[in-house]
A and B are shown apart, each in its own frame.
Chain A
Amino acid sequence: MNLTNVVASAVKLLNRVSDEIDTIITNPEVEARIDAVPANLGPYGVDPFGFDPQYLKRYAGLLVWMYRKYFRVQAIGTERIPEGRCLLVANHSGQLPFDAAMISTALFVEREPPRFVRSMLERFVPDTPFVSTFMARCGQILGTPENCRRVLSNGDAILVFPEGVGGLNKTWRERYHLQRFGQGFMRLAIETQTPIVPVVVIGAEEQAPSFFNAKALGKTFGLPAFPITATHPLIPGLGLLPLPVRYHIYFGEPLRFEGDANDEDEVIVKKVETVRSTMQAMVDDGLASRHHVFW
């Protein structure tokens, strides 16, 4: 008898928790916003890149909940993002790319009508089971120049992290210090005459402080990095869950660059440096005006 009571109350508790999760996941407001996103859907409900709004609906509620309740994101300057094609260039941090998810969610939540951003995936993603499918159905694509050109020529927005995993998986000592930038985004911006919007995320660095990046270990798992944090890999699977830090996302004034996309490295590097120093200044300002890591 006693056992049945325990089971009954456990079931009740589980029901309450799952109800709570249900209300987070099936958020009619979010679903309405997804429907409002202009998408080029074929007769089978996906766009040519594999984006499936119905699939996204299953996760968008959770993302918006994280945006509002977990990271309590403060997005500043979303109105600066121009209409039409643009390249959002952001700093990368936090071991797992929640910063990408939150920047995309910011544009989805704060803009009228909601703006859909595609982020450029790292090379290892298409070969990773589940992740590859999840990313594709959410409209994310592999970061090849050809893919970028296609998206930009459709007048869409792209999110790139020129630091790559070098920024994402940097250790605690290097926090808020922008790593080496790639040149690809600049050549692309010049070639397609796309405005660059510098984006800076403050807060993500503290979500999962890492002491060391065991790259060799990551390689054996087919991953580009293997951060050692206080909880990872001690707690398998959950060790990289982010701390509930507060995110501040700053969108800067659009930058426009002209010239020859096939210029020599030195010329391009100079232009990249302009973006990088602009962003480092935004990072420093953001840090100075932040009161606390968690609120």
Chain B
Amino acid sequence: MRILITGISGRLGRRVAQRLRRHHEIIGVDRRPCPALPTDVVHHRVDLRRRPAEDVFRNSNVDAVIHMGVVHNFRIPAEKLYARNIISTETLLNYVSKYGVKKLVLLSSGDVYGPSPQNSHFLNEEAPLLASQRFPEIRALVAVDRMVQSFFWKYPDIETVILRPSFIVGPNVRNAPSKYFGLTVVPTLMGFDPMVQLIHEDDLLRMMEASLQPQLRGVFNLTSTPPVPLSRIVKILGKPTVPVPAFVAKALLERAWRYRLTSFPAPELDHIRYSTVLDTSRARRELNAEPERSLYEILEPFRVDGRTDEAG
């Protein structure tokens, strides 16, 4: 199969390319340069929104598209981030339908449901996407997910897959959860201990590969670990914690964010305040890719050496 990957220059994008090239032909599209790619991966340094991107589709006879070029950087002004993600996805969807691509896989995120005190405990794929209710900057990611959903209904002949993983953690990931677990002292919110799920990047890669199987379509929540209280994760890490009252944490983080002293936007605090538990039973039934990594393996790189864990 000839697979086109958007956002291939990202850490995860490169991992996906390296994994899939064993069985497939890989074409990369990203506006950033992509160093250290295997020689058999063709990288086109183009912006999806510009003309040359169409040439890639016209000339390559692409079988499947993996869209992971959604930009998550909240330092980019919200309106810019929004336009960039929406327009490039719109253009991409256009090419997918125009050039006879048979499969489209969107790497969305479990974040699109949004942590909220009103959520039901388990969120299945039909749960409303409320993330931007409490975190307006995330609305582009929600909108991209919705666009691909309507694409799914509009083009029943194209196998569209939307993947919504829980917090991705792994050696090549630099997202908010990984940074949080990497802190020397882990702050928690006083009196709150939400249930958290993690997915190891290797498990995610295997599930992404599994989503390429023929006939498979639909929306899938993904996770490696069952839901675990945050306090248990912190205990496994063996790091000191500081419980901070929620309103203090919010005020501090808002100021720190404004003065560029932190990489955590304040609304991310909701993730260590409220549970967002993904119901992953559909993936277990249909994807044929059981997670292999345990919580201990996932947290191993973040653990303080020499401390024995008591949570066993």
Which residue in A44, A132, A141 is a CB contact (below 8 Å) of B226?
A44
Contacts of B226 in A (CB 8 A): 42-44, 48
Per-position binary interface string of chain B over residues 30-47, scored 1 when its CB falls under 8 Å from any chain A CB and 0 otherwise: 000000000000000000
B117 touches A150 (CB 8 A): no
CB closest chain-B residue, reference A132: B192
Contacts of A265 in B (CB 8 A): none
Contacts of B59 in A (CB 8 A): none
A144 touches B191 (CB 8 A): no
A153 to chain B, nearest CB (A): 12
Contacts of B257 in A (CB 8 A): none
Chain B interface mostly = loop
Per-position binary interface string of chain A over residues 121-136, scored 1 when its CB falls under 8 Å from any chain B CB and 0 otherwise: 0010011111111001
CB closest chain-A residue, reference B275: A50
A44 touches B122 (CB 8 A): no
A44 touches B191 (CB 8 A): no
Total number of A residues with any Cβ neighbor in B under 8 Å? 26
B121 touches A49 (CB 8 A): yes
B122 touches A129 (CB 8 A): no
Contacts of A126 in B (CB 8 A): 117-118, 274-275
CB closest chain-B residue, reference A133: B193
A292 to B311, CA, bound (A): 49
The answer to the question of A46 belonging to the interface, with a C-beta cut-off of 8 Å to chain B, is yes
Contacts of A142 in B (CB 8 A): 117-121
Contacts of B229 in A (CB 8 A): 46, 50, 52, 137
Which residue in A44, A52, A123, A147 is a CB contact (below 8 Å) of B121?
A147
A48 to B281, CA, bound (A): 13
The answer to the question of B182 belonging to the interface, with a C-beta cut-off of 8 Å to chain A, is no
Contacts of B121 in A (CB 8 A): 48-50, 141-142, 144, 146-147, 150
B191 touches A127 (CB 8 A): no
The answer to the question of B161 belonging to the interface, with a C-beta cut-off of 8 Å to chain A, is no
B299 to chain A, nearest CB (A): 11
Per-position binary interface string of chain A over residues 102-141, scored 1 when its CB falls under 8 Å from any chain B CB and 0 otherwise: 0000000000000000000001001111111100110001
B303 to chain A, nearest CB (A): 15
A131 to B277, CA, bound (A): 19
Given contacts A50-B229, A129-B191, contact A146 B122 (CB under 8 A): yes
CB closest chain-A residue, reference B233: A44
Per-position binary interface string of chain A over residues 262-273, scored 1 when its CB falls under 8 Å from any chain B CB and 0 otherwise: 000000000000
Given contacts A126-B274, A136-B193, contact A144 B120 (CB under 8 A): yes
A–B Cβ pairs within 8 angstroms, 6 of them? A130-B190, A137-B229, A141-B121, A142-B120, A146-B121, A147-B121
